[in-house]
């Protein structure tokens, strides 16, 4: 263990401030561009590089070692740098985008995926990952929904905590364990109009009920770092927001870890207009608890002056630097500045059979069978197949934020089917492009001919992976280009057509839903996407994914989400539809196309005999809810059993349904099982108008099934 106090006592104020600075690795590597390149961009001197606390974005363990050596040669205190990256859903072996993985409803699976990513990233020199992203999101226009864990606070928190545990492991000194960073705190997913970086104006009650719980779950799981979000929250950008960074994070949650800004977020305080200059930006961020400044230089240029003026105390600087040094010490960097990185070992791990298997399993369990009229699973004995559509042989299916992943490493659908059915005659015809401005239909004839001559068609459609992720928002969330027209032509030519969908957000596919016999959502499934799709299409794997985010019928319905309040004019009950004056639209219903929690299986699960262990429950006496499930098919399968609640009368309006429990259960052929949930008073609490987290006596409705589609109900009295 290093003696942090002793190290601090030897450091000058400039050296301490250097520990709070983070820049792109290019400031080290691109020395040829010192005059006009990154160093000049950030106003850095050679001496600054010798004081730098951490860097982000570099390519390998060897590069990391080169930079660490360069730095340590300059650093009078010999303090190793931390090396950070966005290892979001894989390092080189890529698994489904987080929103897709969330549809597995499987925290253990998410943890295993994070473990695999940490092995590859750790060997490659990464010590900190800017993951998990658990921004609560309800609006598919926002490009970063692909990165989040969906529209339910509990599910998001479970999956975020699982990623923290997966990445951090049991001992940060081990090279296969990374420090994790929960982001973006807070409310980023609530940006107005679903537009990235836009303002967020939300009531404190809504923030506490929906937007904050997942971050707290990650902090409770021991996450080492936290990143405030770019957006203004109720008027003040998060990184300088006293309510968020002091009242919630420090006073209420007692968060003791590191806070690192987002990229140039301190510089953006001037653009937001709450700082007149960099000095004021530095003061606002530092006094609100931002320890490390990422890729801007307000601390470098002004923190010393602020200390000399007494606006910031050196004790506060020491506290922030102490948190940085303690993390470095807990990662064992003072003993091994390379953290055990080994590029040769890393290369042996990239895309190895075991990692591909993990990625394939994740892709299979993240896929959601949205519709199936019985066409799927296809018979493996079919030997004349057509794989049509812009994603037929597309390898760009690893999604945004895929770190060092490469499209060319991924298995396309056509390749996946070829690998599965080597003797089948498979005709591939893209038919059209997949960009919004692709109007060319010259490929239709070939596609239609291929469809006519096939026993079955796999029609691969979607949005380009560049249409989601940071800065990639859409106002029109339908299939881009002429894909719907292609689908009409192909399905008319051969009704035995199954659609495979690639997307980073819920899409408006209501017109496709009207004509397609079967639709399998793969999200962006990662390196093994095509293999997983082939296994699912031909029944080698049985779909079990459930939507973690609602699919709207129209972008005009957005934001649309399952856990909404009733309003005084409910819009979806039969009698309400008779009312003209209901909370509805004259040109579109208000029910979604597919609800949160929806997902079909090749098995057939029936629910019965829902029972509650007692009619009354109290804070001291929880109840048991049980239900019997039967797999009425001969096909083994998994079912995500979902338990919802409704509190029909409370001191504030409550959602008409709220997920309070889920269990993913495996069933053998014709197997019946009883599934039990424990319901505690704590699970029924909500944030009331006075800002208290309370439950209130009264009737509680319990429902099992999925949003808007419950197959069994019960009630209990909460005393
Ligand atoms: C980006 C993202 C953040 C990421 C950071 C470093 O702008 O907002 O999620 O971790 O910069 O790449």
Q: Distance, CA 263 to ligand 1 centroid (Å)?
A: 6
Catalytic residues: 262
Q: Is the pLDDT of residue 690 over 60?
A: yes
Q: Which atom of ligand 1 is nearest to the CA of 230?
A: 8
Ligand 1 atom closest to 229 (CA): 8
Cα of 572 vs centre of ligand 1, distance in Å, is 40
Residue nearest to atom 3 of ligand 1 (CA): 262
CB count in 10 Å sphere of residue 78: 12
From atom 8 of ligand 1, which residue's Cα is the shortest distance away?
Answer: 262
* Confidence at residue 37, expressed as pLDDT on a 0 to 100 scale: 66
More confident residue, 574 or 55: 55
586-627 pLDDT, tens per residue? 899 889 999 999 999 999 999 999 999 999 999 999 999 999
d(CA 586, CA 406): 46
Which residue has the least CA distance to atom 12 on ligand 1? 86
Mean pLDDT of 680-706: 97
Q: Could you tell me the distance, in angstroms and rounded to a whole number, from the CA of residue 183 to the centre of ligand 1? A: 9
Contact 665, 658 (CB under 8 A): no
Residues with CB under 6 A from ligand 1: 56, 86, 130, 183, 262-263, 470
Report pLDDT digits (tens) over 483-526.
Answer: 999 999 999 999 999 999 999 999 999 999 999 999 999 999 99
Summarize pLDDT for 333-363 with one digit per residue, the tens.
999 999 999 999 999 999 999 999 999 999 9
**Cα–Cα distance between 553 and 510 in angstroms, integer?**
6
Higher pLDDT, 44 or 96: 96
For ligand 1, what atom is nearest to the CA of residue 183? 9
Which region among 22-36, 125-139, 229-243, 458-472 has the lowest average model confidence (pLDDT)? 22-36
Give, in order, the Cα–Cα distances in Å from 19 to each of 13, 23, 71, 223, 276: 10, 11, 12, 20, 25
Q: What is the whole-number distance in angstroms between the Cα of residue 718 and the centre of ligand 1?
A: 44
- pLDDT average, residue stretch 427-433: 97
Of ligand 1's listed atoms, the one at least distance from the Cα of 184 is 9
Q: Show the 3-state SS of 426-444.
A: EEEECCCCCCCCCCCCCCH
Of all atoms in ligand 1, which is nearest to the CA of residue 130?
Answer: 10
Identify the residue whose C-alpha is closest to ligand 1 atom 7. 263
Rounded-to-10 torsion of CA 341, 345, 349, 354: -120
What is the reported pLDDT for 32? 53
pLDDT surpasses 70 at 384: yes
Q: Is 179 helix (H, G, I), strand (E, B) or coil?
A: strand
Mutational test site, ligand 1, from 263, 294, 404, 469, max ligand atoms within 8 Å of CB:
263
Using the mean position of ligand 1's atoms as its centre, give its distance from the Cα of residue 228 in Å: 10
Separation between Cα atoms, residue 578 and residue 10, nearest integer Å: 77
Per-residue model confidence as pLDDT tens digits over 303-341: 999 999 999 999 999 999 999 999 999 999 999 999 999
Sheet holding 179-185, edge to edge: 258-259, 225-228, 179-185, 128-129, 82-85, 54-56, 21-24, 293-294
Query: What confidence tens digit (pLDDT) does each residue in 196-218 have?
Result: 999 999 999 999 999 999 999 99
Ligand 1 centre distance from Cα of residue 175 (Å):
23
**Of 470, 471, 472, 473, which is best to mutate to test ligand 1, by the most ligand atoms within 8 angstroms of its C-beta?**
470
For residue 167, pLDDT beyond 70: yes
What's residue 34's pLDDT? Answer: 46
- Which single residue is written with the structure tokens 């589609």? 709
Give the chain's mean pLDDT.
Answer: 96
């Amino acid at each position: 263990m290093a003696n942090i106090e002793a190290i601090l006592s030897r450091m000058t104020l400039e050296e301490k401030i250097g520990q709070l600075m983070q820049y792109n690795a290019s400031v080290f590597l691109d020395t040829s561009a010192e005059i006009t390149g990154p160093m000049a961009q950030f106003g850095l001197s050679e001496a600054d590089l010798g004081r730098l606390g951490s860097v982000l974005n570099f390519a390998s363990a060897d590069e990391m070692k080169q930079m660490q050596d360069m730095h340590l040669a300059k650093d009078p205190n010999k303090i190793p740098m931390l090396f950070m990256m966005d290892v979001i859903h894989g390092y080189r072996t890529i698994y489904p985008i987080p929103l897709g993985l969330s549809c597995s409803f499987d925290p253990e699976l998410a943890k295993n995926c994070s473990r695999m990513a940490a092995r590859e990233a750790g060997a490659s020199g990464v010590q900190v990952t800017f993951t998990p992203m658990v921004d609560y999101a309800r609006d598919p226009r926002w490009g970063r929904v692909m990165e989040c864990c969906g529209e339910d606070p509990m599910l998001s928190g479970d999956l975020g905590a699982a990623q923290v545990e997966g990445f951090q492991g049991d001992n940060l000194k081990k090279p296969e364990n990374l420090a994790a960073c929960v982001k973006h705190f807070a409310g980023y997913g609530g940006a107005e109009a679903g537009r990235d970086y836009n303002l967020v104006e939300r009531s404190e009650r809504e923030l506490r009920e929906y937007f904050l719980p997942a971050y707290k779950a990650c902090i409770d799981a021991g996450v080492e770092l936290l990143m405030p979000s770019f957006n203004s929250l109720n008027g003040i950008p998060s990184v300088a927001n006293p309510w968020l960074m002091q009242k919630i994070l420090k006073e209420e949650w007692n968060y003791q870890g590191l806070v690192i800004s987002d990229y140039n977020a301190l510089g953006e305080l001037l653009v937001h207009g709450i700082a007149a200059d960099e000095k004021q930006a530095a003061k606002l961020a530092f006094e609100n608890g931002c320890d490390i400044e990422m890729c801007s230089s307000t601390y470098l240029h002004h923190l010393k002056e602020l200390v000399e003026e007494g606006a910031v105390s050196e004790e506060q600087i020491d506290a922030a630097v102490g948190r940085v040094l303690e993390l470095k010490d807990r990662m064992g960097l003072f003993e091994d500045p390379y953290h055990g990185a080994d590029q040769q070992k890393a290369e042996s791990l990239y895309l190895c059979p075991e990692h591909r298997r993990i990625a394939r399993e994740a892709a299979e369990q993240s896929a959601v069978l949205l519709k199936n009229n019985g066409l799927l699973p296809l018979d493996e004995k079919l030997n004349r197949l057509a794989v049509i559509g812009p994603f037929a042989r597309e390898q760009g299916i690893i999604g945004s934020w895929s770190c060092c992943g490469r499209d060319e490493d991924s298995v396309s659908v056509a390749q996946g089917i070829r690998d599965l059915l080597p003797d089948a005659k498979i005709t591939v015809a893209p038919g059209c492009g997949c960009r919004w401005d692709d109007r060319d239909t010259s490929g239709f004839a070939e596609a239609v001919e291929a469809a006519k001559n096939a026993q079955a068609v796999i029609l691969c459609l979607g949005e380009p992976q560049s249409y989601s992720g940071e800065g990639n928002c859409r106002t029109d969330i339908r299939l881009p280009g002429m894909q719907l027209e292609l689908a009409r032509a192909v399905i008319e030519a051969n009704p035995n057509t199954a659609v495979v969908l690639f997307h980073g957000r819920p899409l408006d596919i209501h017109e496709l839903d009207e004509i397609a016999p079967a639709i399998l959502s793969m999200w962006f499934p990662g390196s093994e996407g095509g293999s997983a799709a082939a296994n699912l299409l031909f029944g080698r794997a049985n779909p079990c994914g459930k939507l973690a985010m609602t699919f709207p019928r129209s972008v005009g319905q957005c934001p649309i989400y399952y856990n909404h309040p009733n309003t005084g004019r409910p819009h979806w009950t039969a009698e309400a539809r008779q009312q003209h004056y209901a909370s509805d639209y004259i040109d579109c219903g208000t029910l979604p196309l597919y609800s949160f929690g929806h997902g079909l299986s090749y098995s057939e699960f029936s629910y019965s005999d829902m029972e509650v262990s007692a009619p009354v429950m109290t804070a001291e006496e929880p109840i048991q809810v049980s239900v019997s499930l039967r797999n009425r098919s001969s096909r083994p399968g998994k079912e995500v059993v979902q338990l919802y609640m409704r509190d029909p009368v409370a001191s504030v309006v409550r959602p008409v349904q709220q997920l309070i429990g889920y269990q993913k259960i495996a069933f053998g052929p014709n197997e019946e099982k009883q599934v039990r949930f424990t319901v505690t008073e704590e699970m029924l609490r909500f944030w009331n108008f006075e800002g208290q987290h309370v439950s209130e006596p009264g009737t509680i409705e319990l429902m099992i099934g999925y949003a808007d589609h419950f197959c069994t109900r019960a009630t209990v009295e909460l005393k």
